[in-house]
Chain A
Amino acid sequence: MVENANTPLIKFEHVSKTFKGTAKTKEVHAVHDVSISVDQGEIFGVIGYSGAGKSTLIRMINGLETPTEGTVKVNDQDVTQLDKAALAQLRHKIGMIFQNYDLLKTATIYQNITIPLKLEKIPTEEIKQRAEKYLKIVGLWDRRNSYPSQLSGGQSQRVAVARALAHEPQILLSDEATSALDPETTSSILDLLKDINQKLGLTIFIITHELDVVKSICDKVAIMESGELVEQGRTIDVFTNPKQEVTRQFLGSSDLSGVPAAILTETQKHNHVLLIKFIGNEASTPVIAQLTKQFHVEPNIMAGSIEYLKEQPYGKLLISIEYNDNYDAEIQYLKDQGVIVEEVE
């Protein structure tokens, strides 16, 4: 497949969706003026509380929902303008996985992969090869004759992933795919998705309410609240430097790493309390050490953590520095070293 590197694979342009009210229900603005572009090979996550409009948003990509305003383009094709046949064709190229796996209970794992392919009239030989290939990729070839009721949640989701992959799609949509799973299973499914993204070059669009999903696999993230996108960008940027209050709230006020307010107030009587954020391990300790050398101050570490955003370490340090005359110069020095510094009020 030849892709124009400049054209985004999925593009929302000022998309809104309003569900008309009836006599009994109010009109609902599920999605309001959303613009997103997702490039080929990216893992893009939309995070928000339930009811934020994420489900409606993801369903517009494959035409399960249609926008009331704006356009949704996949591969430069306007999804809403496609006729039935073209839409079916597009959907074959977009796999989707769901929170409840949605496998046929009456069919074996193997049949769950082959039935949709048969309904698409793919040649039998081809179906056999694909079923084997993708069940092996998700590690469930041995269980091919089992029924979904005999599988765990994680295994069921793997089957759903294999079913989606068996259509050899260009895009994989994940609708809260890990929300019903325990943390361990979640991370194994996320590893699988990351693997697929890297090995098969699949573009993945994820909606979730779980921060960990975004942290561990998304290249880019958009935060959605009440139908609107509040902020979007590279995951690492949004996490390290959230622009909006809502984003901060969503990411958790974990910035202070659980330091009790009383201690903070007490410390602030004689000290500046600084929150230092840095990307990558190496920056942190030397910076603090250098600060001591240069300005003869003795920073005290109150709290700190290092998290990994898609394998990229991202650290936070809460330090206190006794009131001194060089404060402004010290701050400037830290900033010059490429870390993000904020004074905690």
Chain B
Amino acid sequence: MANFISEWGNTLTTGLTDTLIMTIITLIITIIVGIPLGIFLVETNVNGMYPNASVHATLETIVNILRSLPFIILLFLILPITRLLAGTTIGIRGVILPLVVYCAPFLARLIESSLLDVDPGIIEAYQSMGISNYKIITRVLLREARSGIIRGLTLATIGLIGATAMAGLVGAGGLGDIAYQYGFQRYQPDIMYTSIVILIVLVQVIQSVGNVVSRRLTK
């Protein structure tokens, strides 16, 4: 055991750190992009506050196209754009953009469905009080949808951790990469299982925290 830790401890710690860094940075950008995108999907729809068929159709198409691409394909497909925006296509820096492009449409869909769960009557009630649409969206709609949003975020985060496993292909590291490199290619099952267990624990923790927070916010 002591041997194992002294031999692999550093590798695993670095892997976990890389996974966490990739997840956190991507998550932040994904939230910034995905939540407004989800709101736009809802509000430009026929029953939304700003119905606009062409804008809505465009957003739908973009989201659907991105949602149909497996991450591994997406990673290579947008290489030129990644190079342009991030300045590099390797390492953590090179994988953030593809991860965001992969994750944000997914989160947007989850946000969309949680917003649609809010009783439209509540929105009408607030409109009847003379409150602006912007305030209704930011202060009423998001508030009422918050437990669904947290559940969506939990789901997106877990999906994101899965996608980071493939980041190793462009040298971004992470636990998934370690499991693949050492465990599979060099056939060292102990290190593979260890990384997998850490991933499982990580996902469990995120899901549990998500559940607790979501339940607290339900009321």
Contact = CB atoms under 8 A, between A and B. Distances in A.
A106 B144 contact: yes
Contact of B129 (A91, A103, A104, A147): A91
A91 B128 contact: yes
Interface stretch (B15-23, B87-95, B119-127, B189-197): B119-127
| Central interface residue in B125, B143, B217, by most chain A CB within 10 Å | B125
B130 A92 contact: yes
Q: How large is the interface on B (under 10, 10 to 19, 20 to 34, 35 or more residues)?
A: 20 to 34
A115 interface: yes
A19 to B, nearest CB: 13
Among B121, B129, B140, residue most surrounded by chain A Cβ atoms (within 10 Å): B129
Contacts, number: 65
Interface stretch (B62-70, B131-139, B159-167, B170-178): B131-139
B219 A106 contact: yes
Nearest to B125: A102
B112 to A, nearest CB: 19
Contacts of B219: 105-107, 147, 149
Nearest to A99: B121
B126 A116 contact: yes
A5 B219 CA distance: 47
B109 interface: no
Interface residues on A, range: 20 to 34
Contact of A105 (B128, B130, B144): B144
B144 A92 contact: no
B128 A119 contact: no
Contacts of A102: 119, 121-122, 124-125
B140 A104 contact: yes
A64 B128 contact: yes
B160 to A, nearest CB: 26
B122 A104 contact: yes
A87 interface: yes
Nearest to A111: B143
A105 B144 CA distance: 7
Interface in A136-185: 147, 149, 160, 167, 173
A96 B132 CA distance: 16
A113 to B, nearest CB: 11
Contact of B144 (A104, A119, A167): A104
B144 A88 contact: no
Contacts of B151: none
A95 B132 CA distance: 16
Interface string B144-164: 101100000000000000000
Contacts of A38: none
A136 B131 CA distance: 25
A238 interface: no
Nearest to B147: A106
A105 to B, nearest CB: 6
The listed residue with most B CB atoms (<10 A of its CB), out of A62, A95, A103, A116, is: A116
B143 A167 contact: no
A263 B46 CA distance: 58
Interface in A256-312: none
Contacts of A91: 127-130
Contact of B130 (A88, A104, A147, A149): A88
A127 B135 CA distance: 18
Nearest to A90: B130
B121 A92 contact: no
B130 A89 contact: yes
A98 B126 CA distance: 12
A94 B130 CA distance: 9
B49 to A, nearest CB: 12
Contacts of B217: 106
A94 B131 CA distance: 12
Contacts of B130: 87-92, 120
A116 B129 contact: yes
A100 interface: yes
A96 B119 contact: no
Contacts of A116: 126, 129, 131
Given A106-B219, A147-B219, A64 B124 contact: yes
A104 B139 CA distance: 11
8 contacts: A64-B124, A89-B130, A100-B119, A102-B119, A104-B144, A105-B218, A106-B146, A115-B139
8 tightest A-B CB contacts, nearest first: A91-B130, A102-B125, A88-B130, A96-B128, A102-B121, A92-B130, A147-B219, A102-B122
Given A62-B128, A88-B132, A104-B122, 13 more contacts: A64-B128, A91-B127, A92-B130, A95-B129, A96-B125, A100-B119, A100-B121, A104-B143, A106-B219, A115-B139, A120-B129, A120-B131, A160-B125
Interface of A: 62, 64, 87-92, 94-96, 98, 100, 102-107, 115-116, 119-120, 147, 149, 160, 167, 173
